[in-house]
Amino acid sequence: MSDADTPGFQVDRVDLSGDCSALRFVGELRFRTCFGAWDEVRRLLQPPPPRLELDVSQVAGLDGGATALLLELRAEAEAAGSAAAIVGATGRVQSMLELYGAHPKRPSIQAPPARIGILDQIGREALSLLNDNNALDFVGDAVVAGGQALRAPRRLNWADVPRLMERAGADGIPIVLMINFLVGLVTAFQAALQLKQFGANIFVADLVGLSVTRELAPLMTAIIIAGRSGAAFSAELGTMRVSEEIDALRTLGLDPYHFLVFPRVLALTLVAPLLTILADVVGIAGGLLVGMFSLDLTFQAYLTQSEKALDLWDILSGILKSGVFGLNIALIACQRGLATRGGAEGVGRSTTSAVVTSLFAIVVTDAVFTVIFHAFGR
């Protein structure tokens, strides 16, 4: 046994077994008294044993500096090849060691969470939306700002509307045309497989025309807008939010709803129907291509049959849907952007949330329109 006596505390080295030794600390470990004598404590590590216990069971108290010295001593012993551990800590000593990471808290043993059913998940998501104060605040602020804008239209930032329409509309025309052309093509192929069996090839024009104008063109166009423009608007406003540009606008006396939100809402509400009209044309063109080269229909016969199958309401109903889809996408994207918190990570979360929520709103709105049209025999 060897020892080091210092003012306020004492350290003894005890050989517990052939391969295990212990340094037993007694008294108060304070940095003021430990620092000057710590070299003597280090010498007690020599020669380093295979296993070393730093026994603090008789330590009445220690401060942060002494804790750091104790952890450093353990690290030195481990560097010398000893399997070192601090043992015997209780009360405030243990709390101090846990604070400095010497004794990680034991993981609590908990029962695995109960499996949540799909209905519970839907209910919880619905409640979270109802309890979303940011969304409710946004709706209230937007209604108030909208009323003010109706009384004084000059407050709106009209200059940004053409630029935003170009970004959301003209720049998105190629992808809208390609996707809807392929949708019409695939729809015609699937219909042809069944109608060929009954010699009803000509009715492919009916199925494609009605499906595209009433459902597929507005729906696919809205999904593309949500992925392109909705995500872009949310990221743009979110970045402005975290960089405090929104607060700067308010400081300058500019209402963010008049200056940022309403131009985007107006742009998407106008652009979505225009893109849907183009989508109707190329979707029917995709079906026409299948009819001519796969079903031996003539160009004139296909167009004549499409004209018989469609009436003005079929086209107008799709355009009406797309306008509402565009309104939903713009409002959701702006709300998520203005509610952004937490820097770049928060911008990413807001963008993802805007797209997912927009897609959900599009499907729900489409279902509501379908039920209403069916109820009125349309």
pLDDT by 10s per residue, the chain, length 378: 344 555 567 787 877 777 788 888 888 877 777 777 777 777 787 787 888 888 888 887 778 777 787 888 888 888 888 888 888 877 777 777 777 665 444 444 455 556 666 667 666 666 665 555 566 677 777 777 777 777 877 777 788 889 999 998 889 999 999 999 999 999 999 988 888 888 888 899 999 999 999 999 999 999 999 999 999 999 999 999 888 888 888 888 888 888 888 889 999 999 999 999 999 999 999 999 998 888 888 999 999 999 999 999 999 999 999 999 999 999 999 999 988 888 888 898 889 989 999 999 999 999 999 999 888 877
Nearest to 226 by CA among 359, 123, 336: 359
What is the dotted CATH code of the domain comprising 2-99?
A: 3.30.750.24
Per-domain residue ranges of the chain: 2-99, 141-375
**Residue 367 burial (10 A CB sphere; 0-12, 13-18, 19+):** exposed
Gap between the Cα atoms of 313 and 13, Å rounded: 95
Q: Which two tokens stand for residue 246?
A: 């929104």
Q: Is 30 helix (H, G, I), strand (E, B) or coil?
A: coil
Contact (Cβ atoms closer than 8 angstroms) between residue 282 and residue 185:
no
CA-nearest of 242, 215, 234 to 325 is 215
φ and ψ of 254, to 5 deg:
-100, 130
CB 272 within 8 A of CB 279: no
Residue 103 phi/psi, 5° resolution? -125, 90
Look-up: residue for tokens 């004598």? 37
53 by DSSP, 3-state: which? strand
How many CA atoms within 13 Å lie on the side-chain side of 68? Answer: 6
Q: Are 324 and 332 in contact (CB under 8 A)?
A: no
Q: In what order do the strands lie in the sheet with 9-15?
A: 2-6, 9-15, 20-29, 51-62, 83-87
Alpha helices in 229-310 (DSSP H): 231-242, 245-251, 256, 262-294, 299-309
User: If you ran DSSP here, which 8-state letter would residue 50 be given?
Assistant: S
What integer pLDDT is reported at residue 101 of this predicted model?
62
pLDDT at position 286: 94
**Within 10 A of 173 (CB to CB), how many other CB atoms are there?**
13
In order of 9, 11, 14, 80, 262, the CA distances from 31 in angstroms are 11, 15, 24, 24, 63
pLDDT of residue 152: 76
CA dist., res. 66 & res. 28, Å (int): 10
